[in-house]
Amino acid sequence: MALKYLLLPATVIFSMVANACTCFLLSRDKELVFGRNYDWITGAGMVFSNPRGLLKISMETGDGATLTWTSKYGSVTFNQYGREFPTGGMNEKGLVVELMWLDGTLYPNPDGRPAVGTLQWVQYQLDNAATIDDVTASDSRLRIASTGSVPLHFLVADATGSAATIEFLAGRMVVHRGKELPVPVLANESYEESLKNLPALPGGSNSSADRFARACRLVRQYQSQSNSQPIVEYAFAVLEDVAQGDWTKWSIVYDIADREVFFTSARSRQIKLIRLNALDFSCRAGPRMFDMNTPVIQPSRAKFPAVDISAELRAFSDHPYRKLLETAFSESRPRVMISEDRQQAIFDYGKFIRCQ
Q: Please state the domain extents for the chain.
A: 3-355
pLDDT band at 352 (very low <50, low <70, confident <90, very high): confident
Contacts of range 301-305, beta carbons closer than 8 Å, 24 or more positions apart: 301/273, 303/230, 303/232, 304/230, 304/232, 304/233, 304/262, 304/271, 304/273, 305/271
SS (H, E, C) 319-338: HHHHHHHHHHHHHHCCCEEC
Model confidence at 46: pLDDT above 50: yes
pLDDT per position as a tens digit, 131-166: 999 999 999 999 999 998 999 999 999 999 999 999
pLDDT per position as a tens digit, 231-258: 999 999 999 999 999 999 999 999 999 9
Helices (H), 178-207: 191-196
C-alpha distances out from residue 212 to 6, 14, 241, Å: 38, 23, 11
Q: What distance in Å separates the CA atoms of residue 315 and residue 267, rounded to the nearest whole number?
A: 23
- Are 108 and 168 spatial neighbours (Cβ–Cβ below 8 Å)? yes
- Are 279 and 313 spatial neighbours (Cβ–Cβ below 8 Å)? yes
Burial per residue of 133-151, b for 16 or more beta-carbon CB atoms within 10 angstroms, e otherwise: ebbbebbeebbbbbebbbb
The alpha carbon dihedral of 186, 252, 47, 54 has a sign of positive
pTM of the model: 0.94
Ramachandran region, residue 314 (left: φ > 0; alpha: ψ -120 to 50; beta: rest): beta
Model confidence at 230: pLDDT above 60: yes
- Are 110 and 79 spatial neighbours (Cβ–Cβ below 8 Å)? no
Angle between helices 231-241 and 208-223 (to 10 degrees): 160
Between CA 10 and CA 93, with CA 286 as vertex, the angle to 5 degrees is: 80
- Are 95 and 77 spatial neighbours (Cβ–Cβ below 8 Å)? no
**Average of per-residue pLDDT across 189-199:** 93
pLDDT for res 176: 98
C-alpha distances out from residue 92 to 95, 113, 277, Å: 7, 27, 8
- Are 271 and 306 spatial neighbours (Cβ–Cβ below 8 Å)? yes
Count of CB atoms situated within 10 Å of the CB of 288:
21
Model confidence at 12: pLDDT above 70: no
pLDDT for res 1: 31
**Average of per-residue pLDDT across 21-26:** 97
CATH number attached to the domain at 3-355: 3.60.60.10
Model confidence at 4: pLDDT above 70: no
Model confidence at 25: pLDDT above 80: yes
H or E element, residue 256: none
Amino acid letter, residue 34: F
Q: What distance in Å separates the CA atoms of residue 266 and residue 289, rounded to the nearest whole number?
A: 19
pLDDT per position as a tens digit, 210-221: 999 999 999 999
Model confidence at 17: pLDDT above 60: no
- Are 262 and 253 spatial neighbours (Cβ–Cβ below 8 Å)? yes
Closest C-alpha to 255, from 270, 235, 278, 241: 235
pLDDT for res 71: 98
pLDDT per position as a tens digit, 48-107: 999 999 999 999 999 999 999 999 999 999 999 999 999 999 999 999 999 999 999 999
Q: How far is CA 236 from the centre of its chain?
A: 17
pLDDT per position as a tens digit, 257-310: 999 999 999 999 999 999 999 999 999 999 999 999 999 876 555 456 899 999
